[in-house]
Amino acid sequence: MLHKSVTRNIVYVLVNSILGSIAFGFLVTLGTILLVIPGIIAYIAFLFMIVYITVEDENFIAALRDSWTLTRGNWLRLFGLLLVLFVVVGIFASLLSVGTRIAITAVAGQSLGTLVSGIIALPVSLLTLGILAEAYTQLRNQTGTTEL
């Protein structure tokens, strides 16, 4: 029997990812226009939508619903996690990346400076992705829905 990742319909996943991203952006923007706090809640509530689309092969509407269900009751904890990720890790990575880019650009040129800056930012992106994946896994285990 072939693994699900070999037989999956990648066009279905791609279309739902695009539609889901548009819906996500609309909901977060609308929430932000309404008073900022609803926008933050929408961002957190639908944070794992793309995971449900890409891993679970759900359509974007089901993915939005399941992300809402998974995050409900954990919005403050997830907000704290995102705050740490985006502020602490983001500021550190930005300072390191910009500093390195300026130094290398001055010595070796803009192309090499941009390349090295990207190489430095990559581990931080992977760290952020890993932390969010772990948050997703912990929430799934907490709610008792561990099947993937």
Per-residue pLDDT of 47-101, as tens digits, reads 999 999 988 889 999 999 999 999 999 999 999 999 988 888 888 888 887 888 7
The answer to whether the pTM exceeds 0.85 is: no
Span 98-116, pLDDT tens digits: 888 788 887 888 888 778 8
Q: What is the predicted pLDDT for the residue at 37? A: 87
Residue 113 contacts by C-beta under 8 Å, 6 or more apart in sequence?
Answer: 100, 101, 102, 103, 104, 105, 106
